[in-house]
Structure 1
Amino acid sequence: MTLADGAAAEGLFVSGHLSIRPEDGLPPTVKSLALLSPDEPRFWTLFRQSAEYLDGEADPLDRWSARVIGQLSEAVGGTPVFPFGGPPWHPFIAWALRSGRAWSSPVGLLVHDSAGLFISYRGAIGLAETFDDTPPAAPPCEECSRPCATACPVGAFAGGSYDVPLCKSWLDRPEGRDCRDNGCLVRRACPVGADLRDPQQSAFHMSAFHRPVRKA
């Protein structure tokens, strides 16, 4: 089984590769890293059938990611790495940028060459094999009219950074229902991968962002 095949079977895809540096803080046996992201729109259907989604306990997506990526890593003889469970926290944003398949968008959020502004990283697998770095591709924003820059109804990105309190205050209002129920308008404005994300998945993530609830 290849890593790509194993990831596909679980509704994930390899969204980037990069070579590891000493400052990345990974074991010396790890020479390269394969980033893993949801393969839309297949991912959401598969995840909703999982025990973690159905058991009603806290953090279902993180628990699913730990189990699935942990098993996949064991199958390919790798080292699982996750963006949660810290400290210490692994630099997934920096890794994504180094992969040459993600960039900082006009609104500051990561934009991916195939997933657009809906890119997320459920984890990564460290590999003993080296990876030949390839020159980064051109970011999709260069050929884009950049509708993301004006899509936020309250201008939460207008100041050059993400104004989280302003965003959350909008979600509290009746007018913010579209963002709450269907996902961030800024992310939805990106033409790259715009038709891949299930609205129910966007609502799941928006709910976790807006009013996170953790069980003891």
Structure 2
Amino acid sequence: MTAPSANADKTIETIRAALAPHGLFLRGTLNFASGEAAPLLADGRPAVSVVLVGNIGGSLWQPFDAWRCSLADRGGTDPLDNWSKAVIQPIAAACGATAYFPSDPPWQPFQQWAMRAEGLKPSPLGILIHPRFGLWHGYRAALGFDIPLGDTGERGTDHPCDRCSEKPCISACPAAALAGERFDVALCRSHLRTDAGRAGCLTSGCLSRDACPAGSRYRYPPEQLRFHMSALEV
């Protein structure tokens, strides 16, 4: 595989600077091996690399909320997705990249990319857990390039769940949705329809997520938690 060039490093720094005012970060890079399945660039060629773009803690909340409040329609039916595209697509175009979003088909394997690029593993909730940020992070897009790129993120060296013996996320769930081998979405949604669920998780955020000790200082602000929970169809 060809090594990243000086121009590639300059492109990455330009993107990093353009994302910063929006509370977004370059989260990690994945260079595809020859012949490996890769997303297609805008011109139909397979991408050589992708760099993940996302938030750390509540970093995007204030820029996003200011944008949403400035619009008569509050950003439409999917405001966070619409904001992400409004911010990231021009940056991608300016640097000759192709932007991919989790909400758009063909559905790209964002979690697989993140696990390879940042060395992350899933938590019992299904959310990828980061050694430093815990469960308080997310991916808003990926940028595809026709050149290899150097590392852009903070690669995990361990899995916080492996060194957590008490597993408070499991016992904190009022719906017992984490009692089995996989997170039970149906149990979670059923609980959120109850008075206790509406007064608890639906208002202040998932109690299991909040119970996780990893990255607790990156916890989303209350208004961001309410926004994300309100997006659930319960």
TM over 0.5: same fold? yes
Which residue of 2 is the match for residue 202 of structure 1?
225
Which residue of 2 is the match for residue 9 of structure 1?
21
The answer to whether 1:91 aligns with 2:105 is: no
TM-score (norm 1): 0.86
> Partners in 2 of 1:193 and 1:152 — Cα distance?
19
Aligned residues: 210
How far apart are residue 185 of structure 1 and its match? 1.2
1:81 partner amino acid: Y
Which residue of 2 is the match for residue 38 of structure 1?
55
Task: Name which of 97, 100, 103 aligns with 2:121.
Answer: 103
Mark the CA change 1:65 to 1:158 in structure 2 (over 3 Å): closer, same or farther.
same
Which residue of 1 is the match for residue 144 of structure 2?
126
> Partners in 2 of 1:164 and 1:151 — Cα distance?
16
Which residue of 1 is the match for residue 212 of structure 2?
190
Which residue of 2 is the match for residue 214 of structure 1?
none
The answer to whether 1:140 aligns with 2:160 is: yes
> Partners in 1 of 2:103 and 2:155 — Cα distance?
29
How far apart are residue 155 of structure 1 and its match? 1.0
Which residue of 1 is the match for residue 190 of structure 2?
169
1:35 partner amino acid: L
- Residue 9 of structure 1 aligns to a residue whose secondary structure is helix
Q: Which has the larger radius of gyration?
A: 2
Let me know the Cα RMSD of the aligned residues: 2.3
Which residue of 1 is the match for residue 175 of structure 2?
154
Task: Name which of 70, 85, 92 aligns with 1:66.
Answer: 85
Mark the CA change 1:80 to 1:152 in structure 2 (over 3 Å): closer, same or farther.
same
> Partners in 1 of 2:25 and 2:193 — Cα distance?
34
Which residue of 1 is the match for residue 67 of structure 2?
50
Mark the CA change 1:13 to 1:47 in structure 2 (over 3 Å): closer, same or farther.
same
Deviations 1:175-209 (A, max 9, x none): 11220111111211222332321111111111112
1:140 partner amino acid: P
Deviations 1:124-175 (A, max 9, x none): 1112331457986212223334322322111112111121121111111111
1:23 partner amino acid: A
> Partners in 1 of 2:137 and 2:57 — Cα distance?
10
Show structure 2 runs of 5+ residues with no match.
1-12
- Residue 85 of structure 1 aligns to a residue whose secondary structure is coil
- Residue 120 of structure 1 aligns to a residue whose secondary structure is strand
Indicate the percent of aligned positions where both proteins have the same amino acid.
Answer: 39
Task: Name which of 11, 14, 32 aligns with 1:20.
Answer: 32
Show structure 1 runs of 5+ residues with no match.
212-216
Mark the CA change 1:98 to 1:74 in structure 2 (over 3 Å): closer, same or farther.
same
1:159 partner amino acid: G
> Partners in 1 of 2:163 and 2:70 — Cα distance?
38
1:94 partner amino acid: Q
> Partners in 1 of 2:90 and 2:210 — Cα distance?
32
